[in-house]
Amino acid sequence: MKQEQWCVRVPVREGEPMRRQLLSDGVLDTSLKPIRDGAFLLFPVTEPARGTERWECETNVKPTPLPRHDLVGGIAIMQDDDAEAAEILLTSRPSIHTVLHAETPVSGEYRTRAFRVLAGVPVTATECTEYGMRFKIDLEAAYFSARLANERQRVVSLMKEGERVCDMFSGVGPFAIALAEKAGIVFAGDINPGAVLLMEENIRLNRCHNVIPMLADALHLGDVLTEDSFDRIIMNLPMSPVPFFETAVRLVRPGGTIHLYAMQEDEGEYREMIEGYPCTITGERQVRSYSAAQHHAVYDIIRTIE
């Protein structure tokens, strides 16, 4: 049977890194095998994005297509409430211990979701690895997205050794722990006690002696941390960053950088707000698509040297 499929094309020698990246982005269609086309490999993906193409394939479709899912550590998350499909998924992927159905979208102050167990071990906790780091997570207790793995590495690549960093909305600590590799010190705060507990475990697990976890409302960080002292600020609360931007500008030193994450429909939606401060935007890029209308964007911002 012939069918059309969205694929990402890469030279064969770049196949494995691309497979890992697509897997960590949660877009690799694991129900289909990669396709060899001369010197290239085509990886079937579950959603079209920049750089994907339509490809007609006929011979490599496995008999039972797997249901669509996101993978976080040993947990598969299905949008469909289909226990039969969940069992198929569980039995065909030995690394999956639990299949969950997301009953609500990401919501509330803690940015969490409610889940129901469809198959496997009845837990919402798991461990995942990202660029050699290990993270304990509990999907119902605290936010975590594996789709930001490459973005965290992009920020690491921009850093100088010994930087003083503040992660204002750190969750279970993936940014703080990734950046700790180069930073002198990272202050990492979150308002969710469950997230801070997991962050403490992850700091221990990854032996990051330079990360200071804090149970803190980001609005008040300016009262406890030294103003004008940070080389870099991470602001990953993309649904509502505006009330916190003033604090970020207070904390960062002149010439230091703020990475502001924001959910937006059109490019440049936050430019006017940012330009109301003594700041210069040095870059704006799309990190990932979020829904048909919105994408998760990052603005790289430098505090102006007056």
Ligand X SMILES: C[S@@+](CC[C@H](N)C(=O)[O-])C[C@H]1O[C@@H](n2cnc3c(N)ncnc32)[C@H](O)[C@@H]1O
CB atoms within 10 A of CB 88: 16
Rounded to the nearest 10 degrees, the angle between the axes of helix 15-25 and helix 149-158 is 110
Stretch that binds ligand X, among 6-14, 186-194, 206-214, 222-230 (CB under 6 A): 186-194
Give me the 107-146 binding string for ligand X, x by CB under 6 A, dash otherwise.
--xxx------------------------------xxxx-
CB closer to ligand X, 78 vs 218 = 218
237 is a site residue for ligand X (CB under 6 A)? yes
Q: How far apart are CA 220 and CA 232, in angstroms?
A: 18
Of 73, 74, 120, 189, which lies in the binding site for ligand X, with binding defined by CB under 6 A?
189
The reply to whether 290 sits near ligand X by the rule CB under 6 A is no
- Of residues 266-285, which lie at the interface with ligand X (CB under 6 A)? none
Q: Does 214 bind ligand X (CB under 6 A)?
A: no
Q: Number of residues interacting with ligand X: please give it, by CB under 6 A.
A: 23
Long-range Cβ contact pairs of 123-128 (< 8 A, separation 24 or more): 123/75, 123/97, 123/98, 124/75, 124/98, 124/100, 126/72, 126/73, 126/74, 126/75, 126/97, 126/98, 127/73, 127/74, 128/72, 128/73
Q: In this structure, what are the phi and psi dihedrals at residue 160, rounded to the nearest 5 degrees?
A: -100, 155
For ligand X, give the closer residue by CB, 7 or 186. Answer: 186
Pairing of strands 52-57, 70-72: unpaired
Residue 217 as a binder of ligand X (CB under 6 A): the answer is yes
Phi, psi (rounded to 5 degrees) for 55? -140, 135
Asked if residue 224 binds ligand X (CB under 6 A), the reply is no
Q: Which residue is nearest to ligand X (CB)?
A: 171
User: For residue 65, how far is the Cα from the chain centroid?
Assistant: 27
* Residue of 52, 126, 192, 257 that binds ligand X (CB under 6 A): 192
Closest distance to ligand X from the beta carbon of 152 (Å): 8
Tell me which residues in 139-178 interact with ligand X (CB under 6 A).
Answer: 142-145, 148, 169-171, 174-175
53 and 6 in contact (C-beta within 8 Å)?
Answer: yes
Q: Which residues bind ligand X (CB under 6 A)?
A: 109-111, 142-145, 148, 169-171, 174-175, 189-192, 195, 217-219, 236-237
